[in-house]
Structure 1
Amino acid sequence: MLTIKQLQAFYWVAKLGTLNKAAEKLHITQSAATKRLQEVEAAVAGPVFAGASRKNHLTRLGRELEMECEHLFDQLQALEQLKRSGHPPVRTLKVGLTEVVALTWFPDFLKRMKASYPSIIVQPEIDFSLALQEKLECGDLDFTILPNHHASEAVLTVSVGEVKFGWFAAPGMFAADVSHPLHELASKPVIEQSENSVITLVCSRLWESEGVQPERIYGGNNIQALAGLVAAGVGISCLPVQLFRSELRSGSLVLVKTPAPGPTVGYSCCFLKHPASDLGRKVAEVARQSSTFVRRDVTGKRASPARRP
């Protein structure tokens, strides 16, 4: 008869893609994970992975076994929660987020999580979206709040709204009340974050579509630092409008008018499909309630105006 440990080894190899990642997730050696996987294949009398690479390519038998594992682990989790209902266990939820989320509504998210789930400790990690996405898919993070980007089929997503970006410049750099096309903006240096930033990728596509190649300056990985360089007249930058409303009111920064509106980036909560997905959905709902990003209804109309952080 197969043991829980053997089934866990198979399940996490299937979800994370390699024996090494599964071993790290289960805190066992790779040889132990290999042995347990071999025992699973011997017990079910057939291969559960196709090919020799053991890279998340399940056979038909493997897919059936994966579904049975999810059902079994759901039941075990329910029994464990029932057993400990009088004394809920403290667990750490590793949450990845970008700087825009951290500087707007994430503090409110932490307060709501503490009120709704006092037994969960949220451990935040701030980084670029592409790096955080990799960590989520590898199992190093439990949950992320990221700009919408291509994710693997193993990831579930729940929208939390959209962020409006605009082209910021120092006062006097461009004529006010005049619409400036992108080729005019390209006459000034463009201050960017690293290529791992989604907004950097979005703006790169905009420049390519216009057939222009502005001077591009790496301004660091801090949005506030980029805004400081813009205010000093070093160049222009595409920044989230919500973060710099006070600077726009004071006149230290101006929002350049363009024929087409600045890019809008959708954000989503992301978590892996696994037996604890129910927790991911609950946390995503807390994030939706906390989010100050604009949400739209099924007709595309603005459904929820952003609140100021």
Structure 2
Amino acid sequence: MHYTLNQLQVFLKVAQTQSVTKAAELLHLTQPAVSIQLKNFQAQFDIPLTEVVGRKIYITEFGKEIAEAAAEIINQVNGINQKSLQYKGQLAGRLKITIVSTAKYVMPYFLSEFLRRNPGVELLMDVTNKQRVVESLEANEVDFSMVSILPQKLNLEHIDLLPNKLYMVGKTRSSFDESRSLEEQFDELNWIYREKGSGTRQMMESFVEQNHWAIAKKLELTSNEAVKQAVIAGLGFSIMPLIGLKNELNNGDIKIFSVSGLPMATMWQLVWVKGKKHSPVAQAFISHIKKEAATLIQKNFDWYIKY
């Protein structure tokens, strides 16, 4: 057999995602390139690694065993590379982070300089929902997470990074009766919500409850990006984090409406399980954040802080 490390990596990612398309996206390869590597890898075995039912790919029992072996080999190779870098005095290893979806507008700015200074560090960052973030912390699967509302049932340590400010937003030319105050019409408007369990949804529901609104017209979407596009399309109003609206506000696609009690604010926080034994990479990242956070915020979020 003459399979390559690249073929092992491709097959492992296909096995993990059960999708050639998703594997290609995560590996930053084209779908045909992944298909060719998968075909060449399969050709070295007499027993099928995968099977296609309908249009979905499934991993056979034999394929699952090969995937486990591939994961071990890749981890060993990564370990060799890390030891080589460490021997030369460079920081090396993996940094595993989960973040809620809106944090994708925040977290990369706290990572970029750290990764530039430490090319031997491999970043594994999962942008997901709040439930999955909490699960990753509970299972001790990650070094850090980023949330704007601390999970109450977990004992966490945290570093405050940036306020998370939420405003009422709508299309620039919105359909409501301008002869009456906006507050008088809240119950009549179409409202766009995040899915249940979302931190943004939690904040919006809290505000609605405080104001005793009886919202009847509701649309529920599963990401802030989807909510934003729905607002731009004129499907309704929402209460959204300012952090993801910079371009739309500058372009005039979205308008912030002045409402008593808004903006509401939570705090973006880097969190980890209390008592966690950090790797040298994780320890270095904490030191980087504590030292550089103020400078990074001023450099990248000056517009946001002043808004």
TM-score (norm 2): 0.60
CA RMSD in angstroms, aligned pairs only: 3.3
- Residue of structure 1 aligned with 2:301, choices 282, 294, 306: 306
Aligned-residue identity in percent: 13
- How far has the Cα of 1:179 moved from its partner? 6.1
CA distance in structure 1 between the aligned counterparts of 2:230 and 2:282, rounded to whole angstroms? 38
Deviation at 1:116, TM superposition (A): 3.5
| Structure-1 separation of matches of 2:116 and 2:263 | 37
What residue identity is the alignment partner of 2:301?
A
For 2:295 and 2:188, the matched residues in 1 are separated by 34
2:95 alignment partner in structure 1 = 93
Correspondence for 1:216: 218
CA contact (8 A) 2:92 2:281 kept: no
Q: Displacement, 1:205?
A: 1.7
2: CA distance, partners of 1:218 / 1:291? 36
Correspondence list, 1:1-309, <5 A: 86=88, 88=90, 90-102=92-104, 104-152=105-153, 154-170=155-171, 171-174=173-176, 180-181=182-183, 184-214=185-215, 215-221=217-223, 223-272=224-273, 273-276=275-278, 280=282, 282-287=284-289, 289=292, 306-307=301-302
Q: 1:153 to 1:231 in 2, by over 3 A?
A: closer
CA distance in 2, matches of 1:156, 1:290: 17
Q: Give the Cα separation in 2 of the matches to 1:148 and 1:163.
A: 10
Q: Which amino acid aligns with 1:199?
A: T
| C-alpha deviation, 1:243, in angstroms | 2.2
The structure carrying a bigger helix percent of its residues is 2
Q: Give secondary structure in 2 for the equivalent of 1:185.
A: helix
Change (3 A) 1:220 1:130: closer
Matched residue SS, 1:139 = coil
Query: In the alignment, what sits opposite 2:54?
Result: none
Unaligned 5+ runs, structure 2: 1-82
- Cα deviation for residue 164 of structure 1 reads 1.2
Gaps of 5+ in 1: 1-80, 295-302
* 1:250-278 deviation line (CA, Å, top 9, x unaligned): 32211111122221121110112222277
> How many aligned residue pairs are there?
216
CA displacement, residues 7-61 of structure 1 (integer Å, 9 cap, x when unaligned):
xxxxxxxxxxxxxxxxxxxxxxxxxxxxxxxxxxxxxxxxxxxxxxxxxxxxxxx
Tell me by how many angstroms 1:285 deviates.
4.7
Is the contact made by 2:93 and 2:122 (CA closer than 8 Å) also made in structure 1?
yes
CA pair 87-281 structure 1, distance change in 2 beyond 3 A: closer
Distance in 2 (CA, whole Å) between partners of 1:229 and 1:136 is: 32
Q: TM-score, normalised by structure 1?
A: 0.60
SS in 1 for 2:276: coil
**Deviation at residue 127 of structure 1 after TM alignment:** 0.9
Question: AA paired with 2:111?
Answer: L
